[in-house]
Structure 1
């Protein structure tokens, strides 16, 4: 792990998503940089972003970023594929601090495939954005990219319905067509899907590679903070604060189920946006 020996920046890192999917990214950030302070915002009242316009998504991104800046964050992670593809370029033009986004792992999937066919599981909204179209076009000559919209998975994950018959049926309906067309690599194009990656892997079988990007995002953030001498050098476990625009009691249940750091859960702090 990289450390900066000549600087010290204990300011928090801001992370946000429309719901709880970005907690998977926060988990990866905590794993890479356990002594960093984290502030996670779930814009639950407006989830999922897939049903919203680009302008609406940007306005929420800007509002949440302003609120995070009131907490003096040193960087912001847009832990949502839909928000990243919809408006991260505009957000970066308006705010003067490191802003890291997430995008489907098309490049590593192209490198991993042996059949030359990859499948992308994502929300319908993400698959329709110009940013995603540009991403897939860059690699269209290297592999066949199959797009599979999954309109109901985010809400099932938000309600923690991992073991439901509906979840099982949905996964079957989304994964089998991709495998039937020769896909040997599946890209998880939504941060929510990281929480069902094992279930997807079981459905797909041992010969299929599952591409997740949360750890790549965490390492990108770590490298950016290192280059700008903004890494914290404190050794104690950093504090994590969770904020929601929705029901705080429901959000606490979600965080308890999805946040991997039990030491944080002992003093779990849920705030309202």
Structure 2
């Protein structure tokens, strides 16, 4: 039965596990397959064509595993490829967009910062979304080298702290009161960011909103798993399995496959 089929998620590496955690928290009985294309990380500095080609490859792998819904757990892949994926494949897709809307709605200073990859900030979809917020000053910053460092396990070292300071300090000086994390890798940097960002600045990401939207679409399409049996949770990577294992606190088996 399709209801028991897994939810598929893919990302350019380990970042989308931040989305997976929210999905699993909200829907603990759902079977999931998480696909980490770490071999090709980061997507953020690739061309639109390359990102689309990789996104199709990942989608087809997940469809071959009978996934009932696919979460594009990567901001860069969403902003550059989701329109084409929806046109090409019949499965429902959930995309990830930077959480600009809640930040813009609640900002008191009318100034919000966004830290994201070059691929996201340069995308057509991102710029289209920005047009809705003419009254808000949005300070953009590309997170050069952040994804690479996270992928290599350097999340809380001194070098990472210095990079984050360099990227975020100018935003703080411009009086932002929201910092939007526009990459699924970046929630893993929140403990570091909290040491830099004053307490009145709220740091937000898309994880919870994506989980809620996934639940909504599964309910709408009558695809929710019907029984509360223990789920099958698969993690597949074409990179170093140890990195994902560590990020998941070694609670789950991570399989290496050169897909």
Band the TM-score falls in, shorter-chain normalisation: over 0.9
Match of 2:149 among 149, 156, 161: 156
Shift of 1:140: 2.1
Residue-by-residue CA offset, 1:118-170 (whole Å, 9 max, x unaligned):
000011221111111111111122x1111011111111111121221110101
Match of 1:195 among 185, 188, 208: 188
* CA RMSD, Structure 1 to Structure 2 (Å): 1.5
1:255 equivalent in structure 2: 244
1:270 maps to 2:243: no
CA distance in 1, matches of 2:229, 2:190: 30
TM-score by length of 2: 0.96
Query: Contact between 1:100 and 1:217, CA under 8 Å: does it hold in 2?
Result: yes
TM-score by length of 1: 0.91
1:205 equivalent in structure 2: 198
Shift of 1:261: 8.4
1:69 equivalent in structure 2: 63
Query: Contact between 2:237 and 2:254, CA under 8 Å: does it hold in 1?
Result: no
Q: Which segment drifts farther, 169-178 or 129-138?
A: 129-138
Query: Contact between 2:245 and 2:254, CA under 8 Å: does it hold in 1?
Result: no
CA distance in 2, matches of 1:8, 1:96: 14
Q: Alignment length, in residue pairs?
A: 258
2:170 equivalent in structure 1: 177
Shift of 1:269: 4.2
2:229 equivalent in structure 1: 236
2:140 equivalent in structure 1: 147
Query: Contact between 2:179 and 2:203, CA under 8 Å: does it hold in 1?
Result: yes
Shift of 1:112: 2.1
Shift of 1:64: 1.3
Q: How does 1:16-165 map to 2 (within 5 A)?
A: 16-141=10-135, 143-165=136-158
Can you give the 5+ residue segments of structure 1 that lack an aligned partner in the other structure?
Answer: 1-6
Residue-by-residue CA offset, 1:195-253 (whole Å, 9 max, x unaligned):
1123212311211011111111011001100111100122133111111223xxx22x1
Query: Contact between 1:27 and 1:260, CA under 8 Å: does it hold in 2?
Result: no
CA distance in 2, matches of 1:27, 1:260: 12
SS in 1 for 2:134: coil
Query: Contact between 1:8 and 1:233, CA under 8 Å: does it hold in 2?
Result: no
CA distance in 2, matches of 1:123, 1:200: 17
CA distance in 1, matches of 2:63, 2:179: 36
Query: Contact between 1:119 and 1:186, CA under 8 Å: does it hold in 2?
Result: yes
Find runs of 4+ consecutive structure 1 residues off by over 4 angstroms: none
2:159 equivalent in structure 1: 166
CA distance in 1, matches of 2:235, 2:27: 17
SS in 1 for 2:44: helix
